[in-house]
Amino acid sequence: MKGNTYIYILVMAAVTYLIRVLPLTLIRNEIRNKYIKAFLYYVPYVTLSVMTVPAIFFSTNSVYAAMAGFAAALLLAVKGFKLMTVALGACCVVFVLEFL
């Protein structure tokens, strides 16, 4: 198994390199298709959501406290509060509910 570690690292490096280099070499012109542009526009937001939402629900001892904190953050964000206020509000809701 120890001998294969270098092969694993080499394959990982090659795949990572190809993922980053292939779009630069294959797509040289501006993308004009509005559907592809829209898809590429939302990829960072979707990726961030996919990484963040599971962490929200499994970061506390109680899933209900996590859901309440998430709901509080959503409510504060929709109301137009700044990021620090939203984060502190959600943390306070979770903190209080963890003691109940």
Using only C-alpha atoms, the chain has a radius of gyration, in whole angstroms, of 21
Q: What is the value of pTM for the model shown?
A: 0.63
Domain count, the chain: 1
Query: What's the pLDDT at 100?
Result: 83
Domain span including residue 57: 5-98
Query: What's the pLDDT at 31?
Result: 85
Question: What is the DSSP code string of 11-60?
Answer: HHHHHHHHHHHHHHHH--SPP--HHHHHHHHHHHHHHHHHHHHHHHHTSS
Q: What is the mean pLDDT of each run of 10 residues along the chain (100 residues)?
A: 81 93 84 90 92 90 93 96 96 93
Contacts 24+ apart (CB under 8 A), 24-29: none
